Amino acid sequence: MPRTLVRDALNATAPSDAIFLQGWVRTRRDAKAFSFIELNDGSSLKGLQVIVDATLPDYPQVGRASTGASVEVQGRLVASKGQGQQWEVVAEKFTVLGEADATYPLQKKGHSLEFLREIAHLRPRSNLFGAVFRVRSRLAYAVHQFFQEKQFFYVHTPIITASDAEGAGEMFRVTTLPLGNPPKTEQGEVDHTQDFFGRKTFLTVSGQLEGEIFATALSNIYTFGPTFRAENSHTSRHAAEFWMIEPEIAFCDLAGDMALAEEFVKYLIRDAREHCAADLEFFSKFVDKELLTRLDFVLERPFQRCSYTDAIAILTQNGKTWEHPVAWGDNLQSEHERYLTEEHFKCPVTVYNYPRAIKAFYMRVNEGDAPGRQTVAAMDLLVPGIGEIIGGSQREERMELLKEGMALHHLSEKDYWWYLDLRRYGTVPHAGFGLGFERMLMFVTGVANIRDVIPFARTPGTAEF
């Protein structure tokens, strides 16, 4: 008999005389004449109640069906006699496949997130993490759906890269040279010409530069893959390995870029709201009471836009005192970003046109700025509770200005010869952004720590699983 998923059984429209289920026991309640077993197979938040009558030949097995045990059940799907569920299964055959003894760490009551991180191999079996990873799967699908519907092409940019100075952060080195005794040059430095790739290589911090290659060929592309930052960050919103979505659009300016970013964020929220309703309600109940209100509010309301210069004016004219001073030319600090999105605008806000000096070399220089106030066409999308969720820009398509930017950042034109070629041959205005997938998940689920929205968190000092 084919297996029925719990999710489908719960959504049944009619009873069934024959149904077969497999899954794990969440809890068991024994009565004198029968036992109740809540069966969960991960297909949905809610489990299915199974009744095993004491007269059943298989009944002795029920004693071994403790929380965490794997079981299979054959029986009848019937309307429940009790409150709390529409359907339940009356078992005719009941088998324990794998026991879970008293050392099984997951209990019926709530655990701390910190404890669950220590058992990352079992936490997907909890309500919370089951829900998180179902939403994660759905949103990954929605990412592709959004861009594919818009006829963007999915490009696989390399994980291993030789570009080492995009300004996105510290990088992990990739090498096969012996650690203790690497070959040296005459100058006594490690000789990377003898390394696997014949040069220094790293794990990528961004697929953007390679994305630009494809955008200037296929017009509209996106990447969606893992990226790596070797920053020693100890915060709830940084991980050393995370997934990023980076669209790159040819013949597009900053305004188009911002519009796409805002549409994308709303699309993902709407998709989760529609397809992960039960899981989101669970988060709203147990993780963040304001979640659904906030998500709906974000869907209904247009995102605000605010130039960097206006943002500085808002921050300096409201009479607040800041831990970090606010001055034109300085980066916006977390407290400033959070004030803008959480208190001033009270909704997602896109800040654009940042000072050139604090932004990356490839960002497009704006025209008509006041002297000493040179800006670039960069934008950050800020959301309440998290801060920056998207960073993007129009790219500098003019060769001379791009070279000038590289000089400002002390980058060698020789190392970026292929990137400069994109301007040398058929250059076009283009723009793109990066969305941190985990940060988006934090926003959609209300889960406050990035370690809890990624299956296996990689943070400084931690890579157990």
Partner RNA sequence: UGCCUGGUAGCUCAGUGGUAGAGCAGGUGACUGUUAAUCACUUGGUCGUAGGUUCGAUCCCUACCCGGGCAGCCA
Residues 333-362 contacting RNA, CB under 7 A: 333-335, 338
**H or E segment and range at residue 403:** helix 399-408
Residue carrying the six token digits 């097995």 = 61
- What DSSP designation does 339 have? I
Of 398-437, binders to RNA (CB under 7 A) are 434-436
CB of 313 to RNA, least distance (A): 19
Query: Would you call 462 exposed, middle or buried from its count of C-beta atoms within 10 A (0-12, 13-18, 19+)?
Result: middle
Q: Which residue of 69, 174, 244, 258 would you call a contact of RNA, by CB under 7 A?
A: 244
Parallel, antiparallel, or unpaired for β 304-307 and 349-355?
A: parallel
> What span, in angstroms and rounded, lies between the C-alpha atoms of 307 and 375?
10
Tell me whether residue 73 or residue 239 sits nearer to RNA (CB atom): 239
Site string (246-285) toward RNA, x via CB under 7 A: ----------------------------------------
Q: Which residue of 14, 81, 188, 400 would you call a contact of RNA, by CB under 7 A?
A: 81
- If one asks whether residue 2 binds RNA (CB under 7 A), the answer comes out as no
Of 195-214, binders to RNA (CB under 7 A) are 206
6 three-state secondary structure: helix
- If one asks whether residue 115 binds RNA (CB under 7 A), the answer comes out as yes
> What span, in angstroms and rounded, lies between the C-alpha atoms of 228 and 173?
10
Site string (372-401) toward RNA, x via CB under 7 A: --------x------xxxxx----------
CB of 93 to RNA, least distance (A): 18
- If one asks whether residue 29 binds RNA (CB under 7 A), the answer comes out as yes
User: Helices 399-408 and 417-424: crossing angle, nearest 10°?
Assistant: 150
HSE-CB of 253 using CA atoms within 13 angstroms = 5
Q: Which residue of 22, 70, 85, 307 would you call a contact of RNA, by CB under 7 A?
A: 85
What is the maximal distance between C-alpha atoms in the chain?
Answer: 89
- If one asks whether residue 74 binds RNA (CB under 7 A), the answer comes out as no
- If one asks whether residue 232 binds RNA (CB under 7 A), the answer comes out as yes
CB of 43 to RNA, least distance (A): 18
Site string (436-465) toward RNA, x via CB under 7 A: x-xx--------xxxx-------xxxx---
Cβ neighbours for 460, distance < 8 A, ≥ 6 positions apart: 232, 233, 234, 240
CB of 226 to RNA, least distance (A): 11
* Contact range with RNA by CB under 7 A, out of 2-10, 76-84, 277-285, 304-312: 76-84
CB of 158 to RNA, least distance (A): 18
* Contact range with RNA by CB under 7 A, out of 178-186, 231-239, 288-296, 412-420: 231-239
**H or E segment and range at residue 355:** strand 349-355
Q: Which residue of 100, 132, 142, 239 would you call a contact of RNA, by CB under 7 A?
A: 239
Q: Which residue of 2, 84, 188, 302 would you call a contact of RNA, by CB under 7 A?
A: 84
Q: Which residue of 15, 60, 98, 114 would you call a contact of RNA, by CB under 7 A?
A: 114
Parallel, antiparallel, or unpaired for β 220-228 and 153-154?
A: parallel
Q: Which long-range contacts (CB under 8 A, 24 or more apart) does 415-420 make?
A: 415/163, 415/164, 415/165, 416/163, 418/213, 419/209, 419/212, 419/362
CB of 324 to RNA, least distance (A): 6
CB of 465 to RNA, least distance (A): 12
CB of 456 to RNA, least distance (A): 13
Residue carrying the six token digits 């790293």 = 202
Tell me whether residue 392 or residue 429 sits nearer to RNA (CB atom): 392
Q: Which residue of 169, 182, 226, 329 would you call a contact of RNA, by CB under 7 A?
A: 169
Give how many residues touch RNA by CB under 7 A: 71
Please give the structure tokens belonging to residue 379: 């934008």
- What DSSP designation does 287 have? T
Query: Would you call 330 exposed, middle or buried from its count of C-beta atoms within 10 A (0-12, 13-18, 19+)?
Result: middle
CB of 425 to RNA, least distance (A): 26
> What span, in angstroms and rounded, lies between the C-alpha atoms of 414 and 189?
21
